[in-house]
Amino acid sequence: MTVYIGIAHKDEDTDYGIYFPDLPGCFSAGSTMDELLEMALEAVASYVETLTDDRKMVPPPSTAETLRQDEGIANDLKDGAMLVQIPLLSKSHAKQRIEFQMDKNLVDAFDRRAKALGVTRKALAEQAFEHYLRSA
């Protein structure tokens, strides 16, 4: 999974903000840290989707160590900013087949839950994966 590192910060009397050094011009904000993280997921996905639609190269993510060596980022971190990992969740909904085995009892319980919710196993799995990644 592709994960971009954002620099999150909050100044006195402002909302939380985040910018992505690897994605020039990609930034977001939120009134709470939870809202910031949700908005950051959307910002990264939209930014990458726009690059892809425009047939432009999507920059690879830098490592945390590489970013920490940047003088501007180092200063932001000294001033209280923090590094935040944001996974790239596709907005294009391009599908990829996955296949794995799980304990039968777990699969049966999962199927019962999907039926109770009125959704397919696949739909519940997608929702569960996305929920887990958003809360991680």
**CATH architecture entry for 95-136:** Orthogonal Bundle (1.10)
* Alpha carbon distance 52, 54 (integer Å): 5
The better pLDDT of the pair 71, 133 is held by 71
Read off the pLDDT of residues 114-126 as tens digits, 9 standing for 90 and up: 888 887 888 788 8
The overall average pLDDT reported for the chain is 89
pTM: predicted TM-score of the whole model, two decimal places: 0.68
Single-letter amino acid code for the residue at 11: D
Dihedral of the alpha carbons of 33, 39, 45, 46, in degrees to the nearest 10:
-150
Strands 82-87, 3-10: pairing is antiparallel
Beta strands in the chain (DSSP E): 3-10, 16-19, 27-30, 82-87
| pLDDT in the model for residue 130 | 77
Q: What are 58's two structure tokens?
A: 């999507």
pLDDT in tens, 6-54: 999 998 888 999 999 999 999 999 999 999 999 999 999 999 989 888 8
Neighbouring residues of 116: CB distance < 8 A, sequence distance ≥ 6: none
State whether residue 84 is helix, strand or coil.
strand
pLDDT band, very low/low/confident/very high, at 5 (cuts 50, 70, 90): very high
Q: Is it the case that residue 131 has pLDDT exceeding 90?
A: no
Class of domain 1-91: alpha beta
Give per-residue pLDDT as tens, 93-118.
566 788 889 899 999 998 998 888 88
Q: Could you report the per-residue pLDDT of 54-93, keeping only the tens digit for each?
A: 888 999 999 999 999 999 999 999 999 999 999 998 765 5
- Domain residue ranges of the chain, discontinuous segments joined by +: 1-91, 95-136
